[in-house]
Amino acid sequence: MAHTLTFNDPNYTTNRVITDIDWSPQINELFLASYSQNDEGSIKDHVGLVLLWNPTLKNRPEFYCFCQSAVTSAAFYPFSSPTILGGCYNGQILMWDIRVKSMPVQRSGISADAHKYPVCGLSVIGTQIANNIVSFSNDGMLCMWDIKKFNKPTKMSRLSAVRSVRQSAKPTVASALNRSSLRA
């Protein structure tokens, strides 16, 4: 039977569900996992949690990222290895710099000019010189963010499902052929 690695920190991961996983683009053995809120935890528990795991450290995470809202989506910032991005249940976008501390160093505001619902996903698009963070929430809102200005999104769009147009009432040649082949 093959040995399976377990990534667990009983002080933080108990009664939490993993909400996102991302592999580091710079450090092959490093990955992050974001976690839901611990509904059975105490008041002093951190609600939002992202842990950086390294399989060579078998007993603990390499780094802890905390915040005041459950983290629903997380990603490494591909152009700076110590930077972690997170999207939260309250609609905020967060940035951690693991060289500095375990609390966010930058966060978006909670306002009408940003997500009002939980962030379902986020990604970084562009190059090292010109890039943006793209996030979307479960109400269909897509926001673009400049990493240097987190106060509000640089662009917002509402995504909607494309509805199919009903066939016209006028019969077409194709529909007439289909109906006649059904009768035969």
- pLDDT the model gives residue 79: 93
Residue 173 has pLDDT above 60, yes or no: no
What is the number of domains present in the chain?
A: 1
Residues 58-73 have pLDDT tens digits of 778 999 999 999 999 9
Give the global pTM: 0.81
Selection from 107, 33, 99 nearest residue 69 by Cα: 107
The answer to whether position 5 is within a domain reads no
Any domain includes 4: no
7 is a domain residue: no
pLDDT at 1: 61
Residue 87 lies in domain: 18-183
C-alpha 56/C-alpha 53 separation (Å) is: 9
Residues sharing a CB contact under 8 Å with residue 74, sequence separation 6 or more, in sequence order: 19, 20, 22, 32, 33, 34, 50, 84, 85, 86, 87, 122
State the average pLDDT over residues 32-45.
80
Would residue 139 count as lying in a domain?
Answer: yes
In this structure, is residue 108 part of a structural domain? yes
- Record the tokens describing residue 3, joined without a space: 């040995």
pLDDT tens-digit readout, 100-146 = 889 999 999 887 778 999 999 999 999 999 999 999 998 899 999 99
CATH number assigned to the domain comprising residue 126? 2.130.10.10
* pLDDT on residue 75: 97
Domain contains 129: yes
